[in-house]
Amino acid sequence: MQDSNLNLNLKKDTVLPPKTRRLSRARWLFGSFVGLLLFSCVPLRTGRGEYTVCSHSDSIYTVDETRPRAQCITVLEGRITAIGDEADIRRHWLRNSHIFDLTGADVRFIKPNHIIVPGLADAHAHVLQQGYKMQLQLDGAQSVQEVVDRIKAYIIAHPDVHANTSRWIEGMGWDQTKWGEAFPTAADLSSDPLLHGRPIVLLRVDVHAAWVSERVLELMDPLPPDSKVEGGSIIRDASGKPTGIFVDNAMTLIPRPPWSPEQYVDFFDTAVAEALRYGLTSIHDAATDPDAVAFFKGVAAAGKLPIRLYLMAVPFSENFTDWEPSRVERLTNYGVHGRLNLRSVKLFTDGALGSWGAALISPYTDKPDTRGIMRNSPDIMGQLMRSTWKAEMQVNVHCIGDRANEVVLDIFEDIMANEALQGRPEISAFRPRIEHSQILQPADLERIGRLGVIASVQPTHATSDMWYAETRLGSERIKGAYAYRTLLEASWSKILPLGSDFPVEGVNPMLGFYAAVSRLSVDGRSPHGGGGWFPAEKLTRAQALKGMTLDAAYASFMENDLGSLTVGKRADFVVLDRNIMEVEPAEILQTKVAATVIDGKVAYGTLGGKSWW
């Protein structure tokens, strides 16, 4: 037993030579083995619920610049209490357990090829819409006929829908760039007798356009006579007849039935289960309407929120100029587990590139009759942003096109000048965000960083759009698009939160990590070859991991509690089955999550059985 207490005699900061440490470790392990034999019938005496997770090498990536890698972390009551190598953790246990040996210590070793990273965050996603999309997925459909076939299969698989031709059918994910550039039509949804006469609404992959059936057009009659709707567009044929495509604000004309309480629960459960399976511990919900806020509050109050949510409230008044952001209820660590927060507002400036809705300064290269859509005028955007700022809510604005980004940066710059905040670190108290920051002029790429406006980006948008983006924008304008490395280097705070925008893209954060570091499609291709699309804009793996952890935490005011594996922070971490920081890029996509841990408790997978030191 004398040797088993060897570490009790080591001073806290003692560093032994490698050979001495090996001998000490061997003696210590022998003593621990003897202690195990002698005390195997003695119950655990700490009574603290503390446990340690170790790797067989320094395979814990902390995203803490003071100690980037570690061998072990210890958790108590949902927080990290110690981090270091085995010797550090043994000393921690002996100092705090009030026992004379470590035979009762709860220690788990991950597999040799596994790693641990901080809990992964998605800085821009749509939780309930992910569940909604899972009803009828249209992603990847290569033709209009394939969409029709998927709807037929859905009807046949749901007898209640099959028997009721008045039942609304809703789906999401179609993308006309997969089969050409022309939008589909309502008539296409009547081409099969099983679909004819049914109300069908299908959201485009970017959720900025909707394709409806002829029956829905009948229900909408009469429509506004002009194709232009304030902030949107009704697509019409040469004779002026609506084709069945509604873009951006025109989508609000569609009389879609409201979700039932059962649908809210189903959509939520479906999305959250998928998120946890992929290692997500935090999600920034990037457009939460009042009904959704009420739903999330109910879930959190009942102690049934297994993941952290940071909500961005959207305006709830039909007349935006009458909307008061001061009426938005703040939520701070709300609910039984304190996982629900709301302190931001989401505003929309323009549409999306794929549906020619992104607001551009010059006309589209492939459609010179349009410059896209400003969903709100610069004056209304100024009113909304200033009133949100005055209400001391974080201002998060959707901007895709260079015109939209320019307008919003002009407003932010004016606000900061009036508040005497321009160019000063004090802007970190407000943390304004531009969601997507997708297409910017060279001067605005510099300006967004100088002003301290956070660029919240989605790497998979680049690899999804790269096949048609240059066709839309031309060879010069494309150089300021999806410029993630440039945005990060321009940021004085070196913050670049990464998200997916699911359900627009996949939930799996490894898709975003892979896209950020490779700029390639999942099959290893790009318009510029195997080296990646505009490879100078690749992020390093360390930058990408930080963007999905600590930067996302900063963007939601949670960097003191989340985002890195640091003593005192919440014990949110993920065990991955391979080292994404070292494997070949293509292998990143094969990564599986062995365990997702939130507040120190396993929310998905397993940490394995207890081991003995």
Confidence of residue 105 (pLDDT cuts 50, 70, 90): confident
Structure confidence at residue 563 as a pLDDT band (50, 70, 90): very high
The candidate with the shortest Cα–Cα distance to 458, out of 389, 417, 512, is: 512
Asked if residue 218 has pLDDT above 90, the reply is yes
pLDDT band at 423 (very low <50, low <70, confident <90, very high): low
pLDDT for 30 equals 39
pLDDT of residue 611: 60
What is the overall mean pLDDT for the chain?
A: 90
Per-residue pLDDT averaged across 165-192, rounded? 95
* Percent of the chain whose predicted confidence (pLDDT) is above 90: 81
**Dist CA 380 CA 41 (whole Å):** 72
CATH numeric code, 127-253: 3.10.310.70
Residue 503 has pLDDT above 90, yes or no: yes
**Cα separation, 327 vs 599, whole angstroms:** 31
Strands (E), 419-471: 433-436, 454-456
Q: In DSSP terms, which residues pair with 72 in a beta bridge?
A: 54, 84
Q: pLDDT, tens digit, for every residue of 464-485? A: 999 999 999 999 999 999 999 9
pTM (2 d.p.): 0.89
pLDDT score, position 101: 52
pLDDT the model gives residue 43: 29
pLDDT tens column, 197-211: 999 999 999 999 999
Alpha-carbon distance 137 to 131, whole Å?
10
* Residue for token pair 């240059």: 470
Q: Which of 100-109, 195-204, 342-351, 578-587 has the lowest mean pLDDT?
A: 100-109
Question: What is d(CA 602, CA 572) in angstroms, rounded to the nearest whole number?
Answer: 9
CA distance 167 to 198: 7
CA distance 507 to 116: 20
Q: Do the strands 51-54 and 107-109 form a parallel or antiparallel pair, or are they unpaired? A: parallel
pLDDT at residue 370, as a whole number: 96
pLDDT at position 430 over 70: yes
pLDDT digits (tens, 9 = 90+) for 26-85: 443 434 433 333 323 322 333 468 899 999 899 999 999 999 999 999 999 999 999 999
Q: What is the pLDDT of residue 217?
A: 97
State the CB neighbour count (10 A cutoff) for residue 161. Answer: 16
Residue 96 binned pLDDT confidence (cut-offs 50, 70, 90): confident
**Residue 427: CA count within 13 A, CB half-sphere:** 26
- The alpha carbon torsion through 557, 562, 565, 570 (nearest 10 deg) reads 140
The residues spanned by each domain of the chain are: 3-116+598-605, 127-253
Is the pLDDT score of 10 beyond 80? no
Q: How confident is the model at residue 319 (pLDDT cuts 50, 70, 90)?
A: low
Q: Which pLDDT score, from 0 to 100, does residue 258 have? A: 96
Rounded average pLDDT over 471-500: 97
The per-residue pLDDT for 225 is 85
C-alpha to C-alpha distance for 110 and 123, rounded to whole angstroms? 28
Distance, in Å, from the CA atom of 191 to the CA atom of 495, rounded to the nearest integer, reads 50
pLDDT of residue 14: 32
Q: What pLDDT digit, counting tens, does each position of 520-541 carry?
A: 999 999 999 999 999 999 999 9
Query: Per-residue DSSP letters for 30-52?
Result: HHHHHHHHHHTTSPP---S--EE
Q: Are 279 and 574 spatial neighbours (Cβ–Cβ below 8 Å)? A: yes
Q: Are 482 and 462 in contact (CB under 8 A)?
A: yes
DSSP secondary structure letter of residue 457 = B
**Confidence class for position 610, pLDDT limits 50, 70, 90:** low
How is residue 400 written in tokens? 């895709």
Strand ranges (DSSP E) for 289-445? 308-313, 331-334, 340-348, 394-399, 433-436
**How much is the average pLDDT of 216-224?**
95
Greater pLDDT, 374 or 33: 374
* pLDDT average, residue stretch 232-243: 95
Task: Give the helix/strand (H/E) hosting 298.
Answer: helix 290-301
pLDDT at 227: 72
If you count them, how many residues does the chain have? Answer: 613
Integer Cα distance of 549 and 63 in angstroms: 8
Contact 342, 288 (CB under 8 A): yes
